[in-house]
């Protein structure tokens, strides 16, 4: 009897795994990030911020369903971050025309996605989760930033986003996403202050269901 029960559970588990695997979606997304650097990793009203830069972001993505409303959304790719000069009157301001810092990262984000509606052609959703990035290069005014001014090449961040997924047919899905990302790791040191990444991003995505 125990052997029969074990075989039954094994068969059911295999069928569930097969069904979930069939619903796996893979693809890519590309968008623009409106990025800056801040002097605090917390929600501090007194934190100083640089001017925003517009940077490219692109990644490969995969979505794994957990239920009809929940899914895990993974993305791996490139993200341009950084920021311009500090605002007028700030003691950290350089005052150099077109001054900017450009940071190039490769990053992984693991987001829990919740679909507000289910079994629809158009599906609005919200998502939240951590991101992990590694710094590939850091430049200011086109020149490499000295290592003595870099605090950490690893950046851990929080991500919150909203979007809409459209099921074009049985395999093709199109997405429009908006995402806010806040870094918690010190990236650059300037004037005795540590700077942290922040970004608002808009992206278009395309996924294909694996059948």
Mean pLDDT calculated for residue range 183-201 = 92
Nearest Cα residue to 48 out of 36, 66, 57: 36
Class of 25-209 in CATH? mainly beta
The overall average pLDDT reported for the chain is 87
Residue 88: the pLDDT is: 77
Interatomic CA distance for residues 34 and 155, integer angstroms: 17
Cα–Cα–Cα angle for 129, 109, 22, rounded to 5 degrees: 95
With 60 as the cut, is the pLDDT of residue 44 above it?
Answer: yes
Instruction: Give 126-181 pLDDT, tens digit per residue.
Output: 999 999 999 999 999 889 998 888 999 999 999 999 999 999 998 999 999 999 99
Q: Give the pLDDT mean for 12-38.
A: 75
| Bridge partners, residue 189, by sequence | 194
Is 92 or 16 the better-scoring residue by pLDDT? Answer: 92
Cite the beta strand spans of the chain per DSSP E: 25-38, 53-65, 70-84, 100-115, 122-140, 143-144, 154-167, 172-183, 188-190, 193-209
The DSSP output letter for 6 is: H
Contact 151, 183 (CB under 8 A): no
| Mean pLDDT along residues 15-39 | 79
Q: Cα–Cα distance between 91 and 3 in angstroms, integer? A: 74
Which pLDDT does position 7 carry in this prediction? 45
pLDDT of residue 14: 47
pLDDT in tens, 94-133: 888 889 999 999 999 999 999 999 888 999 999 999 999 9
User: Which residue, among 51, 96, 54, 47, has the nearest Cα to 194 in the 3D structure?
Assistant: 47
pLDDT at 17 over 60: no
């Amino acid at each position: 009897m125990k052997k029969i029960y074990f075989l039954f559970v094994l068969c059911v588990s295999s069928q569930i795994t097969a069904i979930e695997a069939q619903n796996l979606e893979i693809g890519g997304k590309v968008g623009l990030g409106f990025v800056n650097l801040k002097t605090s990793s917390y929600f501090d009203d007194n934190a100083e911020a640089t001017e925003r830069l517009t940077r490219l972001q692109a990644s490969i993505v995969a979505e794994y369903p957990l239920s009809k409303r929940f899914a895990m959304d993974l993305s791996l790719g490139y993200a341009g971050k950084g920021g311009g000069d500090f605002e007028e009157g700030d003691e950290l301001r350089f005052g150099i025309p077109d001054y900017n810092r450009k940071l190039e990262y490769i990053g992984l984000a693991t987001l829990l996605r919740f679909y507000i509606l289910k079994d629809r052609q158009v599906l609005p959703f919200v998502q939240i989760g951590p991101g992990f990035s590694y710094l590939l290069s850091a430049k200011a005014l086109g020149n490499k930033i000295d290592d003595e001014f870099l605090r950490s090449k690893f950046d851990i961040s929080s991500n919150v986003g909203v979007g809409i997924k459209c099921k074009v047919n049985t395999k093709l899905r199109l997405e429009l996403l908006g995402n806010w990302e806040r870094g918690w790791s010190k990236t650059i040191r300037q004037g005795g202050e540590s700077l942290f990444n922040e970004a608002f991003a808009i992206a278009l995505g395309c996924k294909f269901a694996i059948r």
